[in-house]
Amino acid sequence: MMMVLSDTEYAELVVAVLNHDDEAKPYPRYSGRGMYNQHCFGYVTENPALIQLELARIHLKRMIVSDQCDSFLDSSVDNVFDEIAYAVADDIGAPTSDSMGRGTIYYWRGITVADDAATEDDEQ
């Protein structure tokens, strides 16, 4: 599943991450090894779980808005959280990482950033 972060989602993610890790650096158009000029979302950080959590929050918000969570409500209360959490984890996937000498970049090949947001960050 390809996920495209909107300008607003990307901005919210960057602010949320910076509130917890002021040294983290986003790469909205990262092209890693073997990607042959294809771009994806990445972050240089020592805490990739923070990025994963913010991506999950964005994805869960999308699921709620689009009523995708309704199907989980037929489950027992104990299983609702697990079913939603695993659905989010399956859709986002685990990041790939590369050492950049001074830090590690974690990137999600299935996640891109809307062109406007990516272009603004590239210019900075």
Report if residue 40 sits inside a domain.
yes
Tens of pLDDT, residue by residue over 64-94, are 787 766 666 666 666 777 777 787 788 888 8
Report if residue 83 sits inside a domain.
no
Tell me which range, 11-25, 55-69, 103-117, is most confidently predicted by mean pLDDT.
Answer: 11-25
Report if residue 68 sits inside a domain.
no
| Structural domains counted in the chain | 1
Exposed/middle/buried for residue 72 (C-beta within 10 Å: 0-12, 13-18, 19+): middle
Q: Over the chain, what HEC string results?
A: CCEEECHHHHHHHHHHHHHHCCCCEEEEEECCCCCCCCCEEEEECCCHHHHHHHHHHHHHHHHHHCCCCHHHHHCCHHHHHHHHHHHHHHHHCCCEEEECCCCEEEEECCEEECHHHHHHHHHC
* Count of other CB atoms within 10 angstroms of residue 53: 14
Report if residue 27 sits inside a domain.
yes
Q: How much is the pTM?
A: 0.81
Report if residue 118 sits inside a domain.
yes
Report if residue 101 sits inside a domain.
yes
Q: Please determine, for residue 8, whether its predicted confidence score (pLDDT) is greater than 50.
A: yes
Boundaries of domain holding 100: 3-57+95-123
What local confidence, expressed as pLDDT, does residue 75 receive? 60
Report if residue 74 sits inside a domain.
no
Tens of pLDDT, residue by residue over 54-67, are 998 898 888 878 77
Report if residue 70 sits inside a domain.
no
